[in-house]
Amino acid sequence: MADDPSPTPESWEQIVARFARFSGVVGEVHDPLTWGLDLIEEEVTGVSDSTDPTEERFLRSYRTFSGETVEVETLRVPATPAQVEDIVRAACSGALVAPLHADVDPAEPPGSASVTELAESYQDYRSAMRAIVAEVDDVPCETRQFRVDGTSRRCMRVTVREVTAVYSPAADRAVVVTGPADLVDRVDVITRPIRNLLHGEEGPRF
């Protein structure tokens, strides 16, 4: 039986259509160098889903000089009250799980580990992921204030192992900010019309 064909890359028209749905404002860290942050990634994640409008998001990811990550995700439409807690917990779990992905060396030759070693590593990874999700689920979410565009807004947040995830209204959308608790509490998050910050005038390579 022939191997399944590789997924077809998105056409330019499809990429343009995805960004057209995000016409309007998206979140970013204002003057990131003030906080020792460097913008390393910006992209549309997820897919358009009429049953879950929070599935598609605009992501800006920043890294500190010490290697910590701060992410600002803009949801295309606000979440319903029933969705907010799950979104916050998933964001916090994702941030805590991220170092597990970094432990995998993509440059390692494919034949360098036995099948048994790979299976054990996978099981360890799955166990660690489950433990992190369970730990995040055990911590109560808080309703507090978070500043977006210079205005304090009522938000939901959860903090585990000094990593915080915050869901906050922003303009007619919402942002999810994730990162070290001390940085998330201090950075200035603002919304501006969508544009390419990472590549500037070189073109829309989000």
Compute the distance between CA of residue 144 and CA of residue 17 in angstroms, rounded to an integer: 36
Q: Is residue 164 included in any domain, yes or no? A: yes
Q: Is residue 158 included in any domain, yes or no? A: yes
**Residue 105 scores a pLDDT above 50:** no
Q: Is residue 6 included in any domain, yes or no? A: no
Q: Is residue 7 included in any domain, yes or no? A: no
- Which residue segment(s) compose the domain that 183 sits in? 12-103+114-198
Q: Is residue 118 included in any domain, yes or no? A: yes
What was the pLDDT predicted at 197? 85
The string of pLDDT tens digits covering residues 7-41 is 566 666 666 666 666 678 999 999 999 999 999 99
Radius of gyration of the chain (CA): 19
**Predicted TM-score of the model (pTM):** 0.80
Give me the number of domains the chain comprises.
1
Sheet strands side by side (includes 163-170)? 25-29, 189-193, 142-148, 151-160, 163-170, 173-180, 69-75, 57-64, 37-45
Q: Is residue 109 included in any domain, yes or no? A: no
What was the pLDDT predicted at 85? 96
Band the pLDDT of 118: cuts 50, 70, 90. low
* Identity at 46, one-letter amino acid code: G
* Identity at 187, one-letter amino acid code: V
Q: Is residue 169 included in any domain, yes or no? A: yes
What was the pLDDT predicted at 116? 61
Band the pLDDT of 107: cuts 50, 70, 90. very low
Q: Is residue 3 included in any domain, yes or no? A: no
What was the pLDDT predicted at 16? 65
The string of pLDDT tens digits covering residues 38-92 is 999 998 887 766 667 677 889 999 999 999 999 999 998 899 999 999 999 999 9
Angstrom distances, CA of residue 94 to CA of 31, 46, 152, 171, 185 = 25, 15, 26, 25, 19
